[in-house]
Amino acid sequence: MQVQKTAKSFEDLIVWQKSHQLVLEVYKFSESFPKAEMFGITSQIRRSSASVAANIAEGF
């Protein structure tokens, strides 16, 4: 049986930790996108990935 501890902060949540890791990976991956897309798809994918982590934190 696995014992779960109470989260004191959103940063303790595994789902937030994974979403934060996703943000870091998306930013790193999107560095290779064409510069012409910096205000198009690059911006959109970065904002959408950051939104996941932000919404988890806000819901906490």
User: Cα separation of 21 and 37, whole Å?
Assistant: 23
**Residue 27, in any domain of the structure:** yes
- Burial label, 14 (beta-carbon count in 10 A; 0-12, 13-18, 19+): exposed
Banded model confidence at residue 25, pLDDT cuts 50, 70, 90: very high
Banded model confidence at residue 38, pLDDT cuts 50, 70, 90: confident
**Residue 17, in any domain of the structure:** yes
Give percent above pLDDT 70 in the chain: 95
**Residue 36, in any domain of the structure:** yes
- Give the domain range for residue 26: 13-59
**Residue 2, in any domain of the structure:** no
User: Cα separation of 39 and 2, whole Å?
Assistant: 46
Total structural domains in the chain?
1
Provide the pLDDT for residue 56: 97
Provide the pLDDT for residue 1: 64
Q: What is the mean pLDDT of residues 12-26?
A: 97
